[in-house]
Amino acid sequence: MKVSLVIPCYNESKSLPELLKSCQKAFHGKNVEIVIVDNGSTDDTQEVLNNLVKDYSFITMVKVEKNIGYGNGILQGLYSASGEILGWTHADLQTNPSDINKGLVFFEKAKDIERIFVKGERYGRSFFDVFFTMGMALFESILMQTKMWDINAQPTLFHKSFFDSWVEPPHDFSLDLFAYFMAKKKGLVISRFPVLFSDRVHGVSSWNISWSNKYKFIKRTLQYSFLLNTNIKK
């Protein structure tokens, strides 16, 4: 069972050396492909990747020339992935790559690996972030008429056949919502497991830069939620 894990990177050059070392330690001896996507970075991410990749045989690199969204970076990585089990996580080391191994246990125990959807569930976050997550989860659960929780948690893992069934997935942060909801709509078994959410090792999350960024994220998510809700009723 080959696994392909997509990790989108946008200006993450400082995180990459530690990230790849963590991946090597976590997946040593396992059939895991790490698809690193340079998602239109404006720093030296690509140069750092080019220097590092020769030391890591499990790395596949994907270059996106222009950043048009977090989701697009993930999608480009998924299109290039060769594994039977696909998934994604973040490059900022707020979650440990070794968490993937906890998620893969569900596939190892499953009778039908095509029928499960695995997702982390974060702990160790700030009060504000937990409060926001609760609010968004309540809104999405009411709108979509199905229970949803910690929608943007990582990692996310699923069988390739589930990915092949997607039609017009979003290219921004709404991809997490889309994947989670589609798994529920298709009747997949949703399996969650706890992951420690730590502070960023390098840089600052775009979410935490300003209230303006928070507002834009919330606005885009709400807009896509209504669009998704409309489409499923057609």
Asked if 1 and 107 count as a contact pair (C-beta separation under 8 A), the reply is: yes
CATH classification of the domain holding 122: 3.90.550.10
Burial of 28 (0-12, 13-18, 19+ CB in 10 A): exposed
DSSP letter at 151? T
According to the model, what pLDDT value does residue 211 have? 65
According to the model, what pLDDT value does residue 207 have? 47
Question: 192 has which bridge partners?
Answer: 119
Range(s) of the domain holding residue 202: 3-232
Q: Return the percent helix, strand and coil in the chain, to nearest 5.
A: 45, 20, 35
Strand boundaries in 44-147, DSSP class E: 59-64, 85-88, 116-123
| Structural domain count of the chain | 1
Tens digits of residue pLDDT in 23-77: 999 999 999 999 999 999 999 999 999 999 889 999 999 999 999 999 999 999 9
Q: How far is CA 65 from CA 8, 16, 42, 46, 143, in A?
A: 13, 19, 10, 11, 35
State the pLDDT confidence band at 121, using cuts at 50, 70 and 90: very high
User: Is the whole model's pTM more than 0.85, yes or no?
Assistant: yes
What count of residues does the chain have?
A: 234
